[in-house]
């Protein structure tokens, strides 16, 4: 491990030198590439330097113990040595996690797709609850959200809603949210007070740039039509809604939220690129037989991952056996405890796989 860390520190120092080179500064493309690589090494290099400092302090403290010391002084030195060794163990564990292979998509923005599942109108209302939950979580993280498309229901929910989340590390924190979310509550339309179970599916896709996914215009069929709202009523009489079909894969994306046909087409292409990238990632994972890399998984959208139980005020994540009795706070965007627990579980599983 120390050899790997030493090599990374040397790489970091080399990048620091390059970033002060006038020739590199003059080439903004090169400069940005080096700066991004260096930024990805900051945490592990700082932690490694602290680790080396702790090792030096341990060696110095052990030397002190070889001298004849007064009992009180010896006790203080032993206590300090114990603290240093405890910190060494902590840093060792943290460095092992930092050395795990990083998901290349972790720093990307994401596209989130939420669809009402079983439960009709109640499922659509639950999809709207999930959208608000993720929007508020994004606000807490200092991220920006952008609505890409939606299909509202008559009662104020969403049969489908697609939105983008832009911010540092968005995919790294949201990638484990893909799957089936289940809600247990008494619907507002239920006069008998019976608890119903409804579901919504969530898909979290890393946003793909044009350079990531090349789309041949000849592979696309673009249909233009008038947009419509809940119940089928016409929203406008101009043909601004866009439906794009990727002929080789059969993937279809429709957008109608914008009044501009051009804007709807841009949004549809953004979602199409993300779906094509996801499809390529799934195929690659299947080839190497590692679709399920850990207990947390990669977010199979057919897997039931979480239950929101209103009568008991609890949220349970079934993958890691986590139950929190703060449903109201979680639906208001207080998701960090759940997110961190999922990330920690995934890291533990991957560390176990390296043993």
Kindly report, residue by residue over 65-124, the tens digit of the pLDDT. 888 888 888 999 999 999 999 999 999 999 988 888 888 888 889 999 999 998 888 999
Point out which residues pair with 165 in neighbouring strands: 110, 145
Q: What is the SS3 assignment for 298?
A: coil
Q: The domain containing residue 218 runs over which residues? A: 110-288+299-348
Asked if residue 275 and residue 148 are part of one domain, the reply reads: yes
Which residue, of 98, 125, 147, is where some domain finishes? 98
Residue 353 belongs to some domain of the structure = no
Q: What is the mean pLDDT of residues 42-56?
A: 94
Residue 217 belongs to some domain of the structure = yes
Asked if residue 226 and residue 187 are part of one domain, the reply reads: yes
Q: How confident is the model at residue 331 (pLDDT cuts 50, 70, 90)?
A: very high
Which residue, of 52, 73, 98, is where some domain finishes? 98
Q: Is the pTM of this model over 0.95?
A: no
Q: What are the start-end ranges of the H helices in the chain?
A: 2-19, 22-26, 28-65, 71-98, 121-141, 170-174, 261-287, 327-331, 336-354
In total, the chain counts a number of residues equal to: 355
Please check the confidence at residue 346 and state whether its pLDDT lies above 70: yes
Asked if residue 137 and residue 257 are part of one domain, the reply reads: yes
**Alpha-carbon 64 to chain mean position:** 48
Q: What is the CATH number of the domain that holds 155?
A: 3.30.70.1660
What is the crossing angle of helices 28-65 and 2-19, to 10°?
A: 140
Which residue, of 75, 98, 121, is where some domain finishes? 98
Please check the confidence at residue 293 and state whether its pLDDT lies above 70: no
Kindly report, residue by residue over 19-36, the tens digit of the pLDDT. 999 999 999 888 988 998
Instruction: Please give the tally of structural domains in the chain.
Output: 2
Q: How confident is the model at residue 291 (pLDDT cuts 50, 70, 90)?
A: very low
Asked if residue 198 and residue 221 are part of one domain, the reply reads: yes
């Amino acid at each position: 491990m120390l050899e790997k860390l030493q090599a990374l520190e040397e790489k970091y120092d080399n990048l620091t030198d390059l970033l002060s080179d006038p020739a590199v500064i003059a080439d903004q493309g090169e400069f940005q590439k080096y700066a991004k690589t260096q930024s990805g090494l900051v945490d592990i290099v700082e932690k490694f330097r602290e680790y080396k400092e702790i090792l030096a302090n341990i060696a110095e403290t052990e030397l002190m113990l070889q001298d004849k010391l007064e009992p009180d002084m010896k006790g203080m030195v032993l206590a300090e040595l114990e603290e240093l060794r405890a910190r060494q163990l902590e840093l060792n564990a943290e460095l092992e996690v930092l050395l795990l292979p990083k998901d290349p998509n972790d720093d990307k923005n994401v596209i989130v797709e939420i669809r009402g599942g079983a439960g009709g109108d109640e499922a659509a209302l639950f999809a709207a609850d999930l959208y608000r939950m993720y929007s508020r979580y994004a606000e807490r993280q200092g991220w920006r959200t952008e609505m890409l498309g939606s299909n509202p229901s008559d009662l104020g929910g969403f049969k489908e809603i697609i939105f983008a989340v832009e911010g540092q590390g968005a995919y790294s924190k949201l990638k484990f949210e893909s799957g089936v979310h289940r809600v247990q509550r008494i619907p507002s339309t239920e006069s008998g007070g019976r608890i119903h179970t409804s579901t919504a599916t969530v898909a979290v896709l890393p946003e793909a740039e044009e350079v990531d996914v090349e789309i041949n215009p000849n592979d696309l069929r673009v249909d233009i039509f008038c947009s419509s709202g809940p119940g089928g009523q016409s929203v406008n009489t101009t043909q601004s809604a866009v439906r794009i079909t990727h002929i080789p894969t059969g993937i279809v994306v429709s957008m109608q939220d914008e009044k501009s046909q051009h804007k709807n087409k841009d949004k549809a292409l953004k979602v199409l690129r993300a779906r094509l990238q996801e499809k390529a990632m799934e195929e690659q994972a299947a080839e190497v037989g590692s679709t399920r890399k850990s207990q947390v998984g990669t977010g199979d959208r057919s897997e039931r991952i979480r239950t929101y139980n209103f009568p008991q005020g609890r949220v349970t994540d079934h993958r890691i056996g986590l139950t929190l009795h703060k449903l109201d706070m979680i639906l208001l965007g207080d998701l960090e405890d759940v997110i961190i627990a999922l990330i920690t579980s995934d890291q533990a599983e991957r560390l176990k796989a390296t043993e």
